[in-house]
Chains A and B, each alone.
Chain A
Amino acid sequence: MSNALVFLLALSFANVIATILINWIFGILRVHEDLKPIVLLVNMFISFLYYTLWTMMYFLYHFLENYNTTLKYQAKINEIKLNQLRSQLNPHFIFNALNSVRALVDENPPKSKEAITQLSNILRYSLIMDKKRTIDFGDEIKIVRDYLDLETIRFEERLKVNFDIEEEAYHYKIPPMMLQTIVENAIKHGISNRMKGGLIEIKCSIGLAGDLYLLVKNSGQLKGGVGRKNDGSGHGVSNTMQRLRLIYGSKASFKMKNFDAEFVLTEIKIPKQSIKLD
């Protein structure tokens, strides 16, 4: 800033000198009047004002132009970010499911056929829905059901599942693979890391203000802070939060807390949808 001021002063000074020189060369320099300190000072002040104004205009123009471009690209960047945050199916799940199915072929052929269909549903869904911003609630819940059916084959009596879904929820649109990711997390911490396994409860209901609440309750307890880096779930949680913010701004929310001494509750609030988001 002070550099710019010095530069402007130097420029004004040079301007005054140049005026005097030009006047002198053309012989119109009135020595007595033009070289008076007060005249010089006024001249200098005027050129200073002129250059300052000019510089300000210049910077303002560039600032506005930058601002415009920023706005234009912000939307694009959001889109790219959303793509990066897109949750993917856990490969661990896919191969474990395939392994269970392989064993199931001998033990229970009809069930293994069903399991193959369910697995291909999930794979297709995760490939296709990936490109959409939001999808019908019904599509997501169907995939969650297929997913939990497959995990039941794997964990057997260690996994108990409970659904409680309001009819009204099917009129909503939600981000794809979001509930699925939460349920996957619940399986990891509530079931597969516990010898006795546990219970997963999924409840979807409409709040008084018309917002959709997606609630996932799983056995287990949060230890330390949510979003620890070391177990990979922290990544999933922060991804989910960022996705919600990019799609719904501050109208959506994500909470994860100990429900009581035995359960962890994850809650996603999806705002009431009067406008179409796609």
Chain B
Amino acid sequence: MRALVIDDERLARKELINLLSGISDVEVVGEAMNVDDAKEKIAELNPDVIFLDIQMPEKTGFDLLAELEAVPKVVFTTAYDEFALKAFEVNALDYLLKPIEPERLTEAIAKLKSQADTGNDDSNEKTVESGDPKLSLKDQVFVKDGDKCWFVKLENVRLFESDGNYIKVYFDNNKPMIHKSLNALDERLDEKAFFRASRKHIINLSWVEGIEPWFNGGLVVTLKGGDRIEVSRRQAARFKDMMSL
């Protein structure tokens, strides 16, 4: 597993790299000392996992995740951030408290490995800069809305709805807002998995449960969970094409 260590303090990086050197499955491929540095290194080195300090100057670790399009596996490292860690309600992602216990670190690595084995989502290697691959259902995105944060697999997102300059991301019982335009998002999403139903909506095709005709040659799609989304007339034709092979 190729790892990138991100922390603004040299000694903290040194300590973690030192600890990681004792673990045979992990190879530290680089270190970064702030968010911008980290973004470059992630693009360049394409690590499997990043060890990410939350408190860093000017931009926090959360800001880094929000700026990345596809997020590698993340292990947070923090000294004492009850508040920040509470932000993660939904996902069971890992964090290590500094000073890091070597046993906890070994555990975290083992957990990452087992996830990688079962998830086998490493086939679609993702880089942000080169090639610009589309985001597939297996990719996870980081969503931050106010104080709350989530890691969401795109396969769990049933609907994107535009709302002014923001997009509401519907998953489970949450619909946090992200600052992005629906058009920009549409370009990044895999068109085999997501469909632009209308000016306001992008739906996840694997969540479609029912399709009914609607006025003016349009359609209404019912998603699992009961959301009903109107497909505009122009898109309805494309939609029929796609669904009928």
Instruction: Show the binding face of A for B, using Cβ within 8 Å.
Output: 91-92, 94-96, 98-100, 102-104, 106-107, 153-156, 192-195
Contact = CB atoms under 8 A, between A and B. Distances in A.
A92 B82 CA distance: 10
A152 B2 CA distance: 31
Contacts of B99: 95, 98-99, 102
Interface stretch (B8-16, B43-51, B230-238): B8-16
Contact of A103 (B11, B34, B57, B79): B11
A103 B18 contact: yes
Interface in B66-97: 79-81, 97
B79 A193 contact: no
Contacts of A154: 9, 11
Looking at chain B's contact residues, is the secondary structure mostly helix, strand, loop, or mixed?
A: loop
B23 to A, nearest CB: 17
B79 A195 contact: no
B98 interface: yes
Contacts of A94: 80
A107 B17 CA distance: 14
A91 B81 CA distance: 9
Interface of B: 8-12, 14-15, 18, 34, 55, 57-58, 79-81, 97-100
A92 B14 CA distance: 19
A99 B11 contact: yes
A269 B15 CA distance: 42
Looking at chain A's contact residues, is the secondary structure mostly helix, strand, loop, or mixed?
A: helix
A194 B11 contact: no
A56 B79 CA distance: 63
B58 A194 contact: yes
Contacts of A155: 9
A257 B215 CA distance: 64
Contacts of A153: 11
A92 B97 CA distance: 11
Given A92-B81, A96-B98, A98-B99, 4 more contacts: A96-B9, A96-B79, A103-B11, A194-B57
A95 B98 CA distance: 6
Given A107-B14, A192-B55, A195-B58, A100 B9 contact: yes
A91 B98 CA distance: 11
Given A92-B81, A106-B18, A192 B57 contact: yes
B15 A99 contact: yes
B5 to A, nearest CB: 12
Please name the 6 residue pairs, one residue from A and one from B, whose CB atoms are nearest each other, closest first.
Answer: A103-B15, A95-B79, A103-B11, A99-B98, A99-B99, A96-B79
